[in-house]
């Protein structure tokens, strides 16, 4: 293969990115030359694994039934951070208040997967595959969302990334995606004296290998390692005011911000946070749910601050496999339920509003007599982001077997 214009542009861009003295906006412009403008649009998906209790996260404090059904673990009126007179945030979500006021943060309540399963694994699988009720889907919707995008002139190694040790279901598929546990560990041979020698030998082996699969994957790997090295994301310190809390989720988002700021061409990204399965002693304003919500909101708010003007082209969506029972159980906890709450944060988001139809909590309004009913399919929310933000109109491929007409969008993106 000769030196094509594409390769020249790519190498040129790398050279610019690799020069620390060049202002970041110039480096960004260099990347802009590589692909179309859609390259700058980013979709970040956050999964709350374990079924978060949406009713104690965005609290329907205007609903008497809520207090009747949760005598011990409700969030009292005086503790709720009111949003619109009917809904309010859990007090651990204080970091979300400014984002709500600036209208960057929108909420979709009574949303989720329509599938009736109460199994964590099945439900997560369905939401990541994007095909509730269909086990046979082999790839994830976030991967398919790239697949159907107009073919970019260049495929950056970090187009799709998951923070964590292995590639999650949502990003598996035909588009190359990188799982990254820690930026520091994404090297060959570590910090030993022989590292560069070892790395160059492996590279020669894989580059010359006739083994098509390992050759291809090896090439991607060495490209990614080199790109990461030259972009040196570690030099992008968190912006002032971006105070990530300790812990895995904060680390994930801090590193994701570094990768985005280092201009590695990130288009879709995924991170997850566990610790939501509160069957026993859920707590209310204090306790288990308060603690995990604090980490959740502090991490996301820090990430948003850290992105700075890059937030303009970023949409962040949170989801969880299902909600929890409307009533508390005998152990001051809640059990597996149905509909839940989703947060949508970003530059193009028309925030400061709770979207979706509220189904109510009266006995007759509950799903199967016990759970918050579902009024918004999660694919409606994701579909809007994929079609209107990522500009991939081919929703039938991203979410097969689902009528995802733009007329049904909640219109939460400006």
Interacting residues with another protein (CB under 8 A):
121-122, 125, 157, 165-167, 172, 176-181, 185-190, 192-194, 197-198, 200-202, 204-206, 208-211, 213-215, 217-218, 220-221, 224-225
Structure tokens at 295: 């980490």
Judge whether 380 and 408 are in contact, CB under 8 Å.
yes
For another protein, the closer CB: 167 or 317: 167
Which pairs from 177-182 meet CB under 8 Å and 24+ separation? Answer: 177/143, 178/224, 180/255, 180/259, 182/251, 182/255
For another protein, the closer CB: 202 or 367: 202
CB of 411 to another protein, least distance (A): 36
CB of 371 to another protein, least distance (A): 23
For another protein, the closer CB: 26 or 134: 134
Judge whether 181 and 211 are in contact, CB under 8 Å.
no
Judge whether 376 and 355 are in contact, CB under 8 Å.
yes
Which letter does DSSP use for residue 193 in this model?
Answer: T
CB of 223 to another protein, least distance (A): 9
Q: Please count the residues of the chain.
A: 414
Neighbours of 2 (CB within 10 A): 4
CB of 165 to another protein, least distance (A): 5
Query: How far apart (Å, rounded) are the C-alpha atoms in residues 30 and 18?
Result: 11
CB of 233 to another protein, least distance (A): 15
For another protein, the closer CB: 64 or 174: 174
The contacts of residue 273 (CB under 8 Å, 6+ apart) are 46, 47, 48, 49, 248, 249, 292, 295, 296, 299
For another protein, the closer CB: 155 or 388: 155
CB of 187 to another protein, least distance (A): 8
């Amino acid at each position: 293969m000769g030196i094509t214009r594409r390769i020249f542009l790519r190498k040129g861009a790398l050279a610019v990115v690799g020069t620390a003295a060049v202002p970041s906006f110039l480096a960004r412009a260099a990347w802009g030359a590589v692909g179309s403008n859609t390259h700058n649009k980013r979709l970040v998906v956050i999964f709350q694994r374990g079924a978060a209790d949406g009713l104690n996260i965005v609290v329907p404090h205007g609903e008497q039934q809520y207090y009747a059904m949760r005598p011990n673990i409700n969030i009292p009126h005086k503790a709720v951070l009111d949003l619109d007179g009917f809904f309010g945030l859990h007090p651990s979500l204080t970091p979300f208040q400014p984002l709500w006021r600036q209208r960057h943060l929108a909420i979709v309540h009574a949303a989720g997967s329509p599938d009736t399963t109460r199994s964590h694994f099945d439900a997560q699988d369905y939401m990541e595959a994007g095909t509730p009720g269909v086990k046979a889907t082999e790839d994830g919707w976030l991967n398919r969302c790239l697949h159907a995008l107009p073919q970019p002139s260049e495929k950056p190694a970090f187009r799709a990334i998951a923070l964590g040790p292995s590639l999650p279901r949502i990003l598996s598929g035909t588009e190359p995606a990188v799982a990254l546990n820690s930026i520091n560990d994404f090297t060959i041979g570590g910090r030993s004296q022989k590292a560069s020698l070892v790395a160059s030998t492996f590279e020669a082996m894989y580059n010359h290998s006739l083994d098509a699969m390992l050759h291809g994957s090896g090439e991607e790997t060495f490209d990614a390692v080199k790109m990461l090295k030259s972009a040196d994301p570690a030099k992008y310190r968190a912006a002032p005011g971006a105070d990530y809390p300790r812990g895995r989720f904060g680390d994930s988002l801090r590193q994701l911000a570094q990768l985005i700021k280092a201009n590695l061409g990130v288009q879709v990204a995924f991170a997850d946070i566990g610790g939501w399965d509160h069957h026993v002693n859920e707590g209310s304003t204090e306790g288990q749910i308060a603690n995990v919500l604090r980490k959740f909101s502090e991490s996301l708010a820090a990430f948003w601050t850290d992105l700075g003007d890059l937030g303009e082209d970023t949409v962040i969506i949170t989801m969880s496999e299902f909600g929890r029972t409307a009533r508390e159980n005998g152990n001051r906890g809640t059990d597996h339920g149905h509909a839940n709450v989703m947060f949508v944060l970003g530059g193009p988001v028309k925030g400061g509003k709770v979207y979706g139809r509220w189904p109510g909590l009266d006995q007759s309004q509950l799903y199967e007599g016990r759970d918050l009913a579902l009024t918004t399919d999660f694919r409606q929310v994701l579909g809007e982001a994929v079609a209107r933000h990522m500009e991939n109109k081919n929703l039938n491929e991203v979410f097969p077997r689902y009528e995802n007409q733009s007329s049904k969008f909640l219109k939460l993106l400006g």
